[in-house]
Structure 1
Amino acid sequence: MNMKLWLGTCLMFLSTIVQAQTKSTIYPGAIWQDNEGNHIQAHGGGIIKLGKDYYWYGEQRAKGLDTGYRYVSCYKSRDLVNWEFKGNALQLSDPENLGNRWVLERPKVFYNKKTKTYVMYFHLDDARYRFARVGVATSKKPEGPFEYAHSFRPLGKESRDIGQFIDDDGTPYLIFESRPTKGFFIASLTADYLNVDKKVCLVQAPLEGGAIVNYNGLYYAIGSALTGWRPNPNKYATAKSLSGPWSAFKDIAPPEANTYGSQSTMMVKVVGSKKTTVLFLADQWKPAQQWDSRYLWMPLEIGNGKLRLPKPSPFSLNVKTGETQLLH
């Protein structure tokens, strides 16, 4: 066989294999495999975009982990569908003498362009949820390793579930639920991102799992009621400014559906050449089998002050155009 013809045939064959392995559809509630064929372990996580790459950080809940440590995983993607496992970005032993069954939950990572540092925030607690602080770790690489820096109570308040929001102008904010105040705070970060600077708003609603997006000049906030691992009807409110005032909270889906068995984690805005899509990212927790917890991602129906989470259905996503298509 002619060498050029042989090489061309090989390239076509390899291209066919790559295309066959590349997924284009997200299946809410199904096992989501990474590039190694393993169930993605990024629970309670957060996603940031750096250039053309998305990084997904979350709680590593795989079987067989050393129970003396807590782990935060890191995945990388160009299309939000196919994810490459980059390893555990953080492996941390008890940093504050919290005792057995200490807690590290809902990790979120910010990138500080001025200091060229990746700053990870997470809910840090003891087994009885009385420590109620934010933990901070830093790295010079997005995939880590992250090194523990310190913990604190933002604004001097108890902090449990945390969320992150990066506005269109790049300004970073921490969202945190504070049980005694019966609401969740939005706080700006200091210049080095290692602490909070000031309170932007206290949204006086007893909600956790706070997620915020800026869509067409209006802010939308989603939260989950305080029912522990049990799913509940998540709700949303709107405001023209992060500082409020915020509208009354309304259901994002039929209340009897309990957010289709999930809890809000964050919203991701995909700005494409043809459309801007907002994705709702949520966890379907399995507390007795945490390694088998699933993810419910769906494009939201959003605009003009209204927000609706459609019934989960497989969908395709094109991050270049911003378009999605439900595959019933």
Structure 2
Amino acid sequence: MRVLYAILATLLAAPANSKYIVPGGRWHDTNGTLINAHGAGITFDQKTGRFWWFGEYKTQAQPEGPIDSHPYISPDNIIQRPKVAYSPETDDYHMWWHADNSTYGLLLQGHAVSSTIGGPYTFVDATAPLGNWSQDFGMFTDYKDGRSYALYSNGDSVNGRDVYISSMNDNLTALEKAVYRFPKFDLEAPSIMQTEKSYWALMSHKTGYRPNITFSRSKTGEWTPIKGTTYTAQNAKTSGDAYKQEAVSKATYRAENA
């Protein structure tokens, strides 16, 4: 087993001299270091009571894999969009990501494990999810039942362009089954937000950095596209059955206890 160092895990918290997180501003971690974590996922850790930000450390000509000649985590491989979830069954943390070669010809999901959320993470394997392809990767844990789900598009080819929601097993070592498929939606960068009554899926319909939103009462039920929700400097708010947008000239978010 080899230790995977290539993916950055940064503790997300407001700097001591700032209580605000400003979109477009320079965000720093608890050590005052500028956050560099592309394609990120945020994990709340019950043990530490902290939010952790996992993402890709991007610099000029930065190699993504740490081990030469490794089939999945060499400097020539693609390691993108890392997400981490905790398994109470095994009392450890599981990192999953989009694993690929430099030509995006593998379309796999990578898996690593650690006994602590801050790592180091030990590489386990890279596999085709349920025998399918996997490109942009996301992960969602339902706070009501504790079950985690993998979210992924299956590539840009004519035979792909689907987005899947697939349940994971209790110890987060494998996918169990696809519970929903967005057929030929040609969406990428999938993520899900959950309220008391609903689930909201945010994905990119190849509209640059402007997300597109769909809505559902159930992870396995029909998802309804929300019309006119491609936005840039706006706040998206949910309240019961209603969806509301408010255009704002500036957006500032206060970090009370990050």
Larger radius of gyration: 1
Q: Contact 1:132–1:153 (CA<8 Å) still a contact in 2? A: yes
Partner of 2:110 in structure 1? 135
Matched residue type, 1:216: E
Note the alpha carbon deviations across 1:170-216, whole angstroms, 9 max, x for none.
11000001133322100000232111001110022211111112213
Q: Which residue of 2 aligns with 1:30?
A: 25
Matched-pair contact (CA < 8 Å) for 2:15–2:32 = no
Matches within 5 A, 1:275-314: 300-303=236-239, 304-306=241-243, 308=245, 310-311=247-248, 312-314=250-252
CA distance in 2, matches of 1:20, 1:208: 32
* Superposed CA offset, 1:49-86 (max 9, x none): 12221111111124685x3x53xxxxxxxxxxxxxxxx
Corresponding residue of 2:130: 155
1:215 aligns with 2:192: no
Match of residue 59 from structure 1? 56
- Alpha-carbon distance between aligned partners in 1 of 2:186 and 2:237, rounded to the nearest angstrom: 25
Please tell me the residue identity of whatever aligns with 2:182. V
Counterpart pick for 2:44 among 44, 49, 52: 49
1:1-328 map, 5 Å? 21-51=16-46, 52-62=49-59, 67=63, 69-70=64-65, 95-96=70-71, 101-168=76-143, 169-179=145-155, 180-204=159-183, 205-226=185-206, 231-254=208-231, 259=232, 300-303=236-239, 304-306=241-243, 308=245, 310-311=247-248, 312-319=250-257
| Contact 1:57 1:109 (C-alpha < 8 Å) held by counterparts | yes
Q: Is the 8 A contact 1:224 1:235 kept in 2?
A: yes
Amino acid at match of 1:203: F
Distance 1:112 1:213 in 2: 20
Task: Mark the runs of 5 or more structure 1 residues left unpaired by the alignment.
Answer: 1-18, 71-90, 261-297, 321-328
Take 1:27 and 1:202, find their aligned partners in 2: how far apart are those partners?
Answer: 35
Query: Helix, strand or coil: the match of 1:155?
Result: helix
RMSD, matched Cα: 2.6
Distance 1:248 1:315, change over 3 A: closer
Count of aligned positions: 236
Q: Does the C-alpha gap of structure 1 residues 251 and 158 become closer, same or farther in structure 2, counting only changes over 3 Å?
A: farther
* Contact 2:44/2:50 (8 A) holds in 1: yes
Q: Against the structure 1 CA distance between its residues 251 and 100, is the aligned structure 2 distance closer, same or farther, given a 3 Å change threshold?
A: farther
The separation in 1 between residues aligned to 2:100 and 2:61, in whole angstroms, is 22
**What is aligned with 1:83?**
none
Separation of aligned partners in 1, 2:226 and 2:140: 19
What amino acid does structure 2 have at the position aligned with 1:190? N
Question: TM-score, length-normalised on structure 2?
Answer: 0.81
Q: What's the TM-score once normalised by structure 1's chain length?
A: 0.65
1:95 CA drift (Å):
3.5
Q: Secondary structure at the match of 1:318?
A: coil
Amino acid corresponding to residue 208 of structure 1 in structure 2:
E
Where does structure 2 lack aligned partners over 5 or more consecutive residues?
1-13
- Report the Cα distance in structure 2 between the residues aligned to 1:96 and 1:318, rounded to whole angstroms: 43
Q: Are the aligned partners of 2:68 and 2:75 in contact in 1 as well (CA < 8 Å)?
A: no
Alignment partners' CA distance in 1, 2:206 and 2:189 = 9
Q: Report the secondary structure of 1:160's partner residue.
A: coil
The structure-2 alpha-carbon separation of the partners of 1:20 and 1:123, relative to structure 1 and needing over 3 Å to count, comes to: closer
Q: Aligned pair in 2 of structure 1 residues 186, 242: CA closer, same or farther (>3 Å)? A: same
Q: Is the 8 A contact 1:236 1:307 kept in 2?
A: no
Distance in 2 separating the partners of 1:307 and 1:175: 25
